[in-house]
A and B are shown apart, each in its own frame.
Chain A
Amino acid sequence: MIPLTGFIAPPEVRADDIESIRLSQATLSSTSDNTWLIDAGVQVSLSAVLVDAVKRGVPLHFVSEFEVLKKRWYWFDDKVLSKTKSVRINYHALTQQYRVSISGLHQMAYPELDEALAAAVNLRGWPVVGSAEVPASAVLQEAKRSPRAFDVRLRVRLDSAQLPKPLQINALTNQDWNLSSDWISPQIVSEITGATP
């Protein structure tokens, strides 16, 4: 009647680590004007399935998530600060370009997927907390002072919820579509002078 094997079969765990997002050398630093910046190296490699999907015009949404959790021994940790950045990559078939739009505004065209990916997941100087956000800044200050009481963490993942619906079904069962880096804790470094744009 209806093939349900994909739905019922347990998600297979892929042994070869072809697709991945890796974060490295993450730092969190504050500038003199109280802007907090994330700096991290991001390496993304997509599986053939995902590359094929992109080339067929499926938009991929990469979400960078930054969270500060206040540890609580008696209950789940309290999420005191949460910032996200969403980047979309889609392929323009006519012009054969990869277009990257950050938070739905800035649109850039790249002829190659790797360039587009590099531009999309770029975490160089991500201003997670602006100078105007006083409470958030205070939280980060506190986290900096007593790092044991807080869990500051960062990750980048492919937002499968933003995929077209038919592919979400795939994402539910297929590891190819679940792409995420581990949570890493950025190193909180002392002030650096001069704001990075």
Chain B
Amino acid sequence: MSLALRLALALVFVSAAALMLLLAAASSSSSAFDQFYPWLVAANSMLAAIMAGLTGWVVVRVWRRYRQKIFGARIMVRLALAFALIGVIPVALVSFISAQFLAKTIDSWFSQGVNVALQSGISLGRASLDAIQSDAMSKARRLAISIEEVMPSQMIGHIEKVVDGREGVDVLILSGSGAVLASRSAQLSTLVPELPSKEALNRARAARQFVSVEPQTGSTERTLQVRAIAMTTRVSSLGDDSRFVQWVEQIPPGLTKNLEALNDGVRDYEQLALGKQGLRKIYGVTLLLTLLLAFFGALLSAVLLSGWLAGPLRQLERATKAVASGDYRPLRFDPASTDELNVLVGSFNEMTGQLNEAREIAQKSRLRLEESNLFLQQVLAHLSAGVLILDNQWRLMEFNTSAERILAASLLPKKTSPLSSLPGLGGCSDQLIRGLAEHPDTQFQHEAARSDGSVVTLLVSGSRLPGKAPQYVIIFDDIGELLSAQRSRDFAEMARRLAHEIKNPLTPIQLSAERLQRRLLDKLGHDDAELLGRSTETIVEQVAALKAMVDEFRNYARLPAANPEPVNLALLLREMQTLYATDKRIHWPDIGGHFWVSVDRAQMIQVIHNLIQNAQDAVGDDPQARITLMLETLQTPSGAEKIRFAVLDSGPGISPESRARLFEPYFTTKAKGSGLGLAIVKKIVEENQGRVNLTNRVDLWPSHSSGAAATVEFAKLENASDNQAVRSKRRETGKAHG
């Protein structure tokens, strides 16, 4: 609830209480608030209207909440109804009884008996006053008669005689023209009593007498006096001689007091009777306003109180929702209070705190798990071996990039497909499943056919991970290169030994054969000599061939360490062109420019020789054949530049079966040849940090026709300049001279 509303309500309540008190005070018989009564009624009515409006608004607000099914509204309405009943029923009861009481009481005031009694009192009072009046009149008349014949100077004696010692009697004798003839005053301080008013004299003149009871003039106290005027007319010689005798006598104070009290009582009664309706209205209005204010006050209080009680519930509900959406801020908690709701709030805060803690721990462990997962993935990605993880149904779950590289296939679309459908490894799935069914680990070699037709030799090892639903990890590696390297090393060793063992006896064999020829040639006949010559020649020839072969073996085995230097391949090719001038089938690249690489110059020359030789062997004696040499700069995906030297032929190309073993020593598809040419190329290129590849031309250039393509790639020397070229040239010449 807003602060403004609270303030307004407090203000309304305070002013209601104040106005009610004032109204009650004003309603009671007489008080200082009398004159403000209409204003108070108006103000209270206004207040009642304001409270009615406020109550209506608050009730509508609560009802709307109830209809919207806002949490806590139901209990709030229930409480409000209960409180309202508790408040309103007593108020209504008291008001009803008060109203009944009021009507009866007011009616009972105006009973017929009281009315009659008061009227009788009035009659009695009037009778007594009449008696006093007639007494005064008779006195005045007596005096008037007694002084008819008396001279004004002797009148005082007659006056005293008539007064006869009565107290409080003023007597005045006036002539017909109004002149004072004689007077007697009750008080010594006033010499001449009060003159009669003009009206009184006129009346006395008209009726020959006048009597009235009147308030004593000049007195602030409520005293009454009786004034009687008698007129006498004496017809004399001097004409009409009228005289007025005024008898003013104070009515005894005791009687006056009683008479005035009676008069006041009658007046009050009459006023009350006149204002009966008004009185009823006053009490009724006061009662009604009290009822209204109490009623609305009770309703308002009920709603506010229920809101106050239901407030913490709503707070808790909001907090619960906040917790559900992940907001763990604690609620406002007053540690000093022992209120049950406050205790509940404390427990709630404790709970949310624990929840928050648990959530943070979970978050941390999740993060740690993610980190370790990430780490594992990194490790897997950088593993050169292929890794596959399969679920208990032998379906692919995870794999690394090496697996894709080795199998030369994309595994992403194969996810969740069974092992038997995977390329390359599908053929050994039975073996794996069988092996892992018996033992947790298994290992074997497998010749896998890749999707491009080539065959790789894989070392496959599988592991079964423990668990209820076991998972399987399959690690495989392409050991083809490993095997060929093993073969190269074995061959080199064998070649070295063979060369050593074979070369030693060759020279004695050759020498012995030559000596035999020389000694026996003269001694033999023509035919024998010819046979001998031919045989010897064959021996020498074959020994020489054997020697050459052994040299070749030895060269392979004892290839010197590379001594790299900056070499411009374009210049090198131009230098070598002259050596092959006889073979017109070779097309040399006609390009200059900077093709600087860091290689051993002598070894590079051998590589080029061997590759050209290989191409020549491939095309054979076909005069239409064509051997193309290419030199170009390549851009690698990482941004570095590479130099590629390629030798393309138009020969039969390479069969898929032989491709994997092309660079193995002593592997050859040709009738002649040691099978070492490409092995040496590979060895040299790799020692010079390059890469060699022998493939079919269509694999590199789909538009090309048949034939093989041998490519050698080296990293381009970026900062090799002309100066370096000059320097290297100078060194070359220096070497030549040396």
Chain A residues near B (Cβ < 8 Å): 1-4, 6-7, 52-53, 56-58, 90-97, 99, 107, 109, 111, 161, 164-170, 172
Per a CB cutoff under 8 Å, which of B35, B96, B125, B278 touches A1?
B96
Per a CB cutoff under 8 Å, which of A52, A57, A168, A170 touches B266?
A57
Q: Say yes or no: A58 contacts B271, CB within 8 Å.
A: yes
Cα distance, A111 to B210, chains bound together (Å): 13
Q: Does B592 contact A (CB under 8 A)?
A: no
Q: Say yes or no: A170 contacts B271, CB within 8 Å.
A: no
* Known interface pairs A3-B284, A92-B263, A109-B212; A56-B96 also in contact (CB < 8 Å): no
Q: Smallest CB–CB gap between A57 and chain B, Å?
A: 3
Q: Does B102 contact A (CB under 8 A)?
A: yes
Contact with A along B25-41 (1 / 0, CB 8 A): 01000100011011001
Q: Does B259 contact A (CB under 8 A)?
A: yes
Q: Say yes or no: A167 contacts B275, CB within 8 Å.
A: yes
Q: What residues on B are CB-neighbors of A166 within 8 Å? A: 271-272, 274-279, 281-282
Q: Smallest CB–CB gap between B359 and chain A, Å?
A: 65
Q: What residues on B are CB-neighbors of A2 within 8 Å? A: 99, 102-103, 280-281, 283-285, 287-288
- What are 26 pairs between A and B in contact, CB < 8 Å? A2-B280, A2-B281, A2-B285, A3-B281, A4-B284, A6-B281, A7-B285, A52-B274, A56-B267, A93-B263, A93-B267, A94-B129, A94-B266, A95-B129, A166-B274, A166-B276, A166-B278, A166-B281, A167-B271, A167-B278, A169-B38, A169-B281, A169-B282, A169-B285, A170-B278, A172-B38
Give the dominant DSSP class at B's interface: helix
Q: Say yes or no: A165 contacts B281, CB within 8 Å.
A: no
Cα distance, A164 to B34, chains bound together (Å): 9
For A161, A168, A170, which residue has the most chain B Cβ atoms within 10 angstroms? A168
Q: What residues on A are CB-neighbors of B38 within 8 Å? A: 168-169, 172
Q: Smallest CB–CB gap between B583 and chain A, Å?
A: 124
Q: Smallest CB–CB gap between A162 and chain B, Å?
A: 8
Q: Does B122 contact A (CB under 8 A)?
A: yes
Q: Smallest CB–CB gap between B737 and chain A, Å?
A: 124
Q: What residues on B are CB-neighbors of A165 within 8 Å? A: 26, 30, 34, 37, 275, 278-279, 282
- Cβ-closest chain B residue relative to A49: B274
Q: Does B59 contact A (CB under 8 A)?
A: no
Cα distance, A59 to B558, chains bound together (Å): 152
Chain B residues near A (Cβ < 8 Å): 26, 30, 34-35, 37-38, 41, 96, 99, 102-103, 122, 125-126, 129, 212-215, 224, 259, 262-263, 266-268, 270-285, 287-288
Q: Smallest CB–CB gap between B268 and chain A, Å?
A: 8
Q: Smallest CB–CB gap between A134 and chain B, Å?
A: 32
6 additional A-B pairs beyond A2-B285, A95-B129, beta carbons within 8 Å, are: A2-B102, A2-B103, A91-B267, A96-B126, A166-B275, A170-B275
Q: Say yes or no: A94 contacts B281, CB within 8 Å.
A: no
Q: Smallest CB–CB gap between B104 and chain A, Å?
A: 13
Q: Say yes or no: B214 contacts A109, CB within 8 Å.
A: yes
Per a CB cutoff under 8 Å, which of A52, A97, A170 touches B214?
A97
Q: Say yes or no: A56 contacts B271, CB within 8 Å.
A: yes
Q: Smallest CB–CB gap between B226 and chain A, Å?
A: 10
Q: Smallest CB–CB gap between B95 and chain A, Å?
A: 8
Q: Smallest CB–CB gap between A54 and chain B, Å?
A: 10
Q: Say yes or no: B274 contacts A167, CB within 8 Å.
A: yes
Q: Say yes or no: A4 contacts B278, CB within 8 Å.
A: no
Q: What residues on A are CB-neighbors of B263 within 8 Å? A: 92-94
- Cβ-closest chain A residue relative to B262: A94
For A1, A92, A172, which residue has the most chain B Cβ atoms within 10 angstroms? A1
Q: Say yes or no: A58 contacts B274, CB within 8 Å.
A: yes
* Known interface pairs A94-B125, A107-B215, A109-B212; A164-B281 also in contact (CB < 8 Å): no
Cα distance, A92 to B284, chains bound together (Å): 31
Q: Say yes or no: A57 contacts B284, CB within 8 Å.
A: no
* Known interface pairs A1-B96, A94-B129; A168-B37 also in contact (CB < 8 Å): yes
Q: What residues on A are CB-neighbors of B272 within 8 Å? A: 166
Per a CB cutoff under 8 Å, which of B37, B273, B279 touches A56?
B273
Q: What residues on A are CB-neighbors of B129 within 8 Å? A: 94-95
* Known interface pairs A2-B102, A93-B122; A56-B270 also in contact (CB < 8 Å): yes
Q: What residues on A are CB-neighbors of B276 within 8 Å? A: 166
Cα distance, A58 to B129, chains bound together (Å): 23
Q: What residues on A are CB-neighbors of B284 within 8 Å? A: 1-4, 7
Q: What residues on B are CB-neighbors of A164 within 8 Å? A: 271, 275
* Known interface pairs A7-B285, A109-B212, A109-B215; A169-B122 also in contact (CB < 8 Å): no
* Known interface pairs A109-B215, A169-B278; A4-B285 also in contact (CB < 8 Å): yes
Cα distance, A100 to B66, chains bound together (Å): 68
- Cβ-closest chain B residue relative to A56: B270
Q: Smallest CB–CB gap between A98 and chain B, Å?
A: 12
Q: Say yes or no: A1 contacts B282, CB within 8 Å.
A: no
Q: Say yes or no: A168 contacts B278, CB within 8 Å.
A: yes
Cα distance, A166 to B285, chains bound together (Å): 12
For A6, A52, A97, A164, which residue has the most chain B Cβ atoms within 10 angstroms? A164
- Cβ-closest chain A residue relative to B99: A1
Q: Smallest CB–CB gap between A104 and chain B, Å?
A: 10
- Cβ-closest chain B residue relative to A173: B281
Q: Smallest CB–CB gap between A185 and chain B, Å?
A: 29
Q: Smallest CB–CB gap between B620 and chain A, Å?
A: 127
Cα distance, A21 to B103, chains bound together (Å): 37
Q: Smallest CB–CB gap between A159 and chain B, Å?
A: 10
Q: Smallest CB–CB gap between B270 and chain A, Å?
A: 4
Cα distance, A86 to B270, chains bound together (Å): 24
